[in-house]
């Protein structure tokens, strides 16, 4: 089964009604063709949305994230992320932690910002 990490931008676009990309991934997961993952970085980026101050929306978002397996950031992902930033492979620590999670757990990365990750060797983009 293909393991796919979903970047925050795909989730935000879907929840705002701007894109149906995530719908495709969720259907693929239901058909057991892929398995979807996120990490705490994606969750924290998503939850910066002021609209989630509304309890009903907040609770719905919490429920929504049950569709994904959550991979925690650990020492190894931290070391990889630090090297990615130090070597100027990515510009932002959040992106480095996302990429490091994909590298460490051997996941494909589904993102709308492929150029942000283009300098990372061995990162598999979906």
pLDDT at 109: 98
Q: What angle do CA 16, 37, 111 make, to 5 degrees?
A: 55
pLDDT (tens digit, 9 = 90+) per residue, 92-105?
A: 999 999 999 999 99
For the residues 94-118, what does the mean pLDDT come to?
97
pLDDT at 9: 97
- The domain ranges of the chain are 2-125
Q: Three-state DSSP class for 116?
A: helix
For the residues 78-94, what does the mean pLDDT come to?
98
Correct CATH for 2-125 of 3.30.70.890, 3.20.20.100, 3.40.50.1010, 3.40.630.30: 3.40.50.1010
Q: Three-state DSSP class for 38?
A: strand
Q: pLDDT confidence of 3, banded at 50, 70, 90?
A: very high
* Whole-prediction pTM: 0.95
pLDDT (tens digit, 9 = 90+) per residue, 8-50?
A: 999 999 999 998 999 999 999 999 999 999 999 999 999 999 9
Q: pLDDT confidence of 62, banded at 50, 70, 90?
A: very high
């Amino acid at each position: 089964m293909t393991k796919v990490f979903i970047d925050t931008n795909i989730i935000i676009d879907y929840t705002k009604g701007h894109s149906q990309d995530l719908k495709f991934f969720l259907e693929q997961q239901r058909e057991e063709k892929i398995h979807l993952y996120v990490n705490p970085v994606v969750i924290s980026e998503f939850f910066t949305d002021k609209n989630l101050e509304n309890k009903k929306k907040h609770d719905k978002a919490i429920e929504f994230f049950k569709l994904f397996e959550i991979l925690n950031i650990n020492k190894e992902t931290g070391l990889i992320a630090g090297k990615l930033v130090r070597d100027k492979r990515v510009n932002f620590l959040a992106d480095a932690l996302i990429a490091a999670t994909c590298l460490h757990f051997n996941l494909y990365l589904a993102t709308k910002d492929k150029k942000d990750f283009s300098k990372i060797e061995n990162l598999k983009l979906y």
